[in-house]
Amino acid sequence: MKNVEWVQLTIVVLIFVAVTVMGFMAARWRRTGELDSLDEWGLGGRGFGTFITWFLLGGDLYTAYTFVAVPAAMYATGAISGFFAVPYTIVVYPIIFVFMSRLWSVSHRNGYVTPADFVGGRYGSRALSLAVAVTGILATMPYIALQLVGMQAVFETMGLGGDNLLAKDLPLLIAFAVLAAYTYSSGLRAPAMIAFVKDGLIYLVIGAAILYLPGQLGGWDSIFDAAKTKMESTSPTTGKPVGSFIPGEAGYSAYWTLALGSALALFMYPHSVTAVLSTKNRNVVRRNAAILPAYSLLLGLLALLGFMAIKANVDIKGLDGLANPQLAIPRLFDQEFPAWFAGIAFAAIAVGALVPAAIMSIAAANLFTRNIYRDFLKRDATPAQEAKVSKLASLLVKFGALVFVLGMDKTISLNLQLLGGIWILQTFPAIVVGLFTRWFHHWALLAGWAVGMVWGTITAYNVVNPATGKHFGGSLANVPFTDTQVYIGLTAFGINLIVVVVLTLILRALKVAEGKDFTHKTDYLADAGDPGVKDLDELLDEGGTGPAAAKP
């Protein structure tokens, strides 16, 4: 603990305390009822408007990990592994514009809290609903763990850590205990309120960095030239170029499939859906699709900080003496900015980890409560019981993530997060296609999901990192029977779709029974204030033969 940066640390602690107070006060913010149902605790009362949602979704999707990892990837291997995040966040909004308001409407009409609720109601299949729920939880857990990794990078740069085990992990433990406490007491309102601080700080820091640093480092031309020189030099371990400054012809397919696959996956993540369902009417999410690209601009500029770190020649050796590209951005701030401003930047990253971690844990807890606890353990759970189980589950999820980060090697979290993206994409056919048509058979969807999951996992395992010789070496692999390198998630998705279509044709030819559809086609266009579920019940014959309803 010799070289602690006291100025930075003081600023980070002050901002952290302010955020904590906000987190607890949020319980009383925009209160419409008691916090004893999932609508209140888990979805913030389903009343957020365009403005709050812009901050909430921005704080939710553009996580601390993203802010550390994207420039780190730019620093280490250049455009293909880093800058694809820009087309990714460009194409995601037109895509969600098309389907997200339908998911909002049907969820609002039927009281759905999670994407698995919708799948269960649409296809009348608890098995499929369980598959979607389990995938969501599996994909979210490592993502929460990675938020901690972002925080750790900041703490390490401030000089916290070292050989003393307790001192090394104590800041993280405190931060997470506090986060768990106010998420428990305030639910989704806590991250919604803190998101204002987080996003404000991030815009401030990136704005200052973009205006100030190029002048310090000799201008954009020389920053890009330094990056170009590094990327085109030959790596001693692989004998190939270090990375890509601008993708060559062989990298085109990798670049666009990473962007498209990640874009399709993003709003399948339960934390994205949670934020969307907390909005107050059908159009909030569509309006946000038009204004959220402001964050994409931010992310693109942030990615370029990775190139600035190359030009600034930052030292990325961790306290353990090993090179760690994740430290590139914290070290760049530490080196180029006065201590007080670096403190603000670090606070932005640390608070930036809290917002998504809170929403992710709420989303995972909601999945557990609605689609495992209520569907399989306690069929007659009351809203108050659901809220209670969800609160406890959110604690458990965070605790699990913490044990994960402290107890295991960081690379395991990274591998699992890589797999999480591939996995979550496999729920796309059931969720998104289900919003438009029920043509896909629910058994076919389940089979396609299983094939996509297994194929994606095996293929990702077989990618060996040429430098370290370890498995899960990256997210790219050749399309079967070709030598075109693409994102594994997207290939798995393609195989998934083929299986679904072929099996649907077979199952329909064999006239295998379909599940019961608990939704009505008018549900998909309904808006807040429309005549509610009452008239819907008359349209549906009660007590069908299909599996249990996912309707409350």
Partner 1 sequence: MSKLSAVRPAFWIAGVLLAASVVVPLLVSTYARDEPRLWGFPFFYWYQFLWVFLSAIAVSISYRLVIHEERKRRAAEGLSADKEGDR
User: Does 259 help bind partner 1 (rule: CB under 8 A)?
Assistant: yes
- Site stretch for partner 1 (CB under 8 A), options 11-19, 82-90, 456-464, 465-473: 82-90
User: Does 310 help bind partner 1 (rule: CB under 8 A)?
Assistant: no
- Shortest distance, position 247 Cβ to partner 1, whole Å: 5
Q: Which of 83, 112, 493, 524 binds partner 1 (CB under 8 A)?
A: 83
Q: Is the dihedral of CA 413, 419, 422, 425 positive or negative?
A: negative
- Shortest distance, position 303 Cβ to partner 1, whole Å: 9
Q: Which of 6, 212, 252, 340 binds partner 1 (CB under 8 A)?
A: 252
Distance CA 324, CA 163 (A): 17
Calculate the alpha carbon distances from 145 to 69, 155, 180, 403, 518 in Å: 14, 16, 14, 9, 36
- Site stretch for partner 1 (CB under 8 A), options 14-22, 213-221, 349-357, 374-382: 213-221
- Shortest distance, position 219 Cβ to partner 1, whole Å: 6
Binding residues among 27-46 for partner 1 as defined by CB under 8 A: 39, 46
User: Does 425 help bind partner 1 (rule: CB under 8 A)?
Assistant: no
CA-wise closest residue to 426 among 138, 65, 142:
138
* DSSP characters over 139-168: HHHHHHHHHHHHHHHHHHHTT--SS-HHHH
Binding residues among 130-169 for partner 1 as defined by CB under 8 A: none
Q: Which of 127, 224, 318, 508 binds partner 1 (CB under 8 A)?
A: 224
Question: From residue 277 to residue 296, what is the string marking binding to partner 1 with x (rule CB under 8 A)?
Answer: ------x--xx-xxx-xx-x
User: Does 383 help bind partner 1 (rule: CB under 8 A)?
Assistant: no
Q: Which of 17, 297, 467, 502 binds partner 1 (CB under 8 A)?
A: 297
User: Does 223 help bind partner 1 (rule: CB under 8 A)?
Assistant: yes
DSSP 549: P
Binding residues among 339-358 for partner 1 as defined by CB under 8 A: none
Q: Which of 174, 532, 537, 544 binds partner 1 (CB under 8 A)?
A: 532
- Site stretch for partner 1 (CB under 8 A), options 167-175, 197-205, 347-355, 530-538: 530-538
- Site stretch for partner 1 (CB under 8 A), options 143-151, 245-253, 333-341, 439-447: 245-253
Q: Which of 42, 87, 120, 171 binds partner 1 (CB under 8 A)?
A: 87
**Which lies closer to partner 1 via its Cβ, residue 158 or residue 303?**
303
Calculate the alpha carbon distances from 284 to 31, 269, 326, 528 in Å: 20, 19, 35, 11
Distance CA 410, CA 448 (A): 31
- Site stretch for partner 1 (CB under 8 A), options 214-222, 353-361, 482-490, 505-513: 214-222
By three-state DSSP, how is residue 450 classified? helix
- Shortest distance, position 277 Cβ to partner 1, whole Å: 13
Binding residues among 468-527 for partner 1 as defined by CB under 8 A: 525-527
* DSSP characters over 82-123: HTTHHHHHHHHHHHHHHHHHHHHHHHHHHT--SHHHHHHHHH
Distance CA 187, CA 41 (A): 5
Distance CA 219, CA 239 (A): 31
Dihedral, 474, 478, 483, 486 alpha carbons, nearest 10: -80
- Site stretch for partner 1 (CB under 8 A), options 241-249, 270-278, 335-343, 453-461: 241-249
User: Does 440 help bind partner 1 (rule: CB under 8 A)?
Assistant: no
- Site stretch for partner 1 (CB under 8 A), options 3-11, 139-147, 246-254, 468-476: 246-254
User: Does 384 help bind partner 1 (rule: CB under 8 A)?
Assistant: no
Q: What are phi and psi of 368, to 5 degrees?
A: -60, -45
**Which lies closer to partner 1 via its Cβ, residue 125 or residue 296?**
296
* DSSP characters over 251-293: GHHHHHHHHHHHHHHHTTSHHHHHHHHTBSSTTHHHHHHHHTH
Q: Provide CB contacts within 8 A for 474, sequence distance 6+.
A: 81, 418, 463, 465
CB 323 within 8 A of CB 316: yes
**Which lies closer to partner 1 via its Cβ, residue 89 or residue 491?**
89
- Shortest distance, position 224 Cβ to partner 1, whole Å: 6
Q: Which of 123, 256, 423, 518 binds partner 1 (CB under 8 A)?
A: 256
User: Does 531 help bind partner 1 (rule: CB under 8 A)?
Assistant: yes
**Which lies closer to partner 1 via its Cβ, residue 315 or residue 537?**
537
- Shortest distance, position 74 Cβ to partner 1, whole Å: 11
Cα 178 vs. chain centroid, distance in angstroms?
A: 21
In degrees, rounded to 5, the angle at the alpha carbon of residue 291 between the alpha carbons of residues 289 and 292 is 70
CB 359 within 8 A of CB 60: yes
- Shortest distance, position 54 Cβ to partner 1, whole Å: 13
Distance CA 400, CA 469 (A): 29
CB 136 within 8 A of CB 116: yes
Number of residues that bind partner 1 (CB under 8 A): 58
Distance CA 391, CA 186 (A): 10
Residue carrying the six token digits 């069929």? 379
User: Does 268 help bind partner 1 (rule: CB under 8 A)?
Assistant: no
**Which lies closer to partner 1 via its Cβ, residue 86 or residue 503?**
86
CB 52 within 8 A of CB 136: no
**Which lies closer to partner 1 via its Cβ, residue 134 or residue 264?**
264
- For binding to partner 1 (CB under 8 A), which residues are involved? 39, 46, 79, 83, 86-87, 89-91, 93-95, 97-98, 108-109, 111, 214, 219-224, 228, 245-249, 251-252, 255-256, 259-260, 283, 286-287, 289-291, 293-294, 296-297, 300, 304, 525-534
